[in-house]
Amino acid sequence: MIFMNSEFQIVRWGIPGWISLITYMSLKLSLSHFLLPVTYQSLNAAGVTVVFGAIGVPLGYIIYQIYFFVKWKWPSKKCFDAIQDISELQRLKRMKPNKAWRHIEYYFDRLMSLDVNNSKIREEDLVRRHNSYASRTSRTHGLGASAWAILLGMTFFYLLHWPEWKGAFWTSIAWVIVAFVLRINYSYQNENTYKMLNAMMKDILETRCIER
C-alpha cells in the first residue's frame, strides 16, 4: 500500500494553510496596490519565510479537519456511485448519505481483509489498483481542502477589512475564479474516486463468485 512518510504528510497539511495565508496576504496587499508598507520592508526574507512555513502547517491541518467534517457530515449523493450494481448494498440507498458511506467503508474493508485473503485474486494487481485509488483520493482531498483554504482566507480578510473591501475587488474575483476551478476539478476527481472503488469491489465479488 502507499507509504506516506512524515515529510510528505507535513507538506500535504501545509499546502491549504499556505494557500489560505497567500489568499489573505494578496487581498491585504491589493489595498496598497501591492506596495509593502514601510514597517514590512525591513523584515528579513528568510525569517518571514520560516514563520510563514511554520504557521502554514498547523493552519493547514485545521483546514483539513474542517474539510473532512463537512465532507463526511454532509456527503454528496455521489457516494452511492460506489455501490452501483452491487446487489447486497442496494439497501443503503434508502439511508442518508453520511450513514450509508460508513457502511460502504466497512464493507470495502471487509472485502479487502477477508475475501481477498481467501480468494485467488492477484494481490499485485489489487495493490496497484488500491494505490491508484488512494492516490486519487489524496488528490481529491487536497483539492477540497485548498478550496476551503481560499474561502477561509477571503472570509478573514473581509471580516478584518470590510470598510476597505472595494480596494481588493479584482483580487477577490481572481481568487473566486481559482476556487471555482478547484471545485470543478474536485468534483471530477471525487466522482471518479467512487467509480474506482465500485470497480474494485465488483472485481473482488466476481472473483469470489467464480471460485464458488
| Contacts with 70 (C-beta within 8 Å, 6 or more apart), sequence order | 148
Residue 209 CA, chain-centre distance (Å), reads 35
- Taking a C-beta distance cutoff of 8 angstroms, is the pair 203, 130 a contact? no
| Grid coordinates of 133 | 485509488
Judged against a pLDDT cut of 50, whether residue 1 lies above it is answered with no
Q: What is the pLDDT of residue 46?
A: 67
| Contacts with 111 (C-beta within 8 Å, 6 or more apart), sequence order | 201, 204, 205
Evaluated on CA atoms 173, 175, 177, 180, the torsion sign reads negative
Q: How confident is the model at residue 33 (pLDDT cuts 50, 70, 90)?
A: confident
Q: What residue ranges do the domains of the chain occupy?
A: 6-211
- Taking a C-beta distance cutoff of 8 angstroms, is the pair 198, 107 a contact? no
Query: CA distances (Å), 62 to each of 20, 69, 75, 100, 146, in order?
Result: 11, 11, 19, 26, 12
* Cβ neighbours of 138 (radius 10 Å): 16
Residue reference for cell 497539511: 13
pLDDT in tens, 43-68: 566 677 788 888 999 999 999 999 99
Q: What is the pLDDT of residue 200?
A: 87
What is the reported pTM? 0.83
pLDDT in tens, 109-155: 888 776 555 555 666 677 788 888 888 899 999 999 999 999 999 99
Backbone φ, ψ for residue 155 (5° rounding): -60, -50
Q: How confident is the model at residue 166 (pLDDT cuts 50, 70, 90)?
A: confident
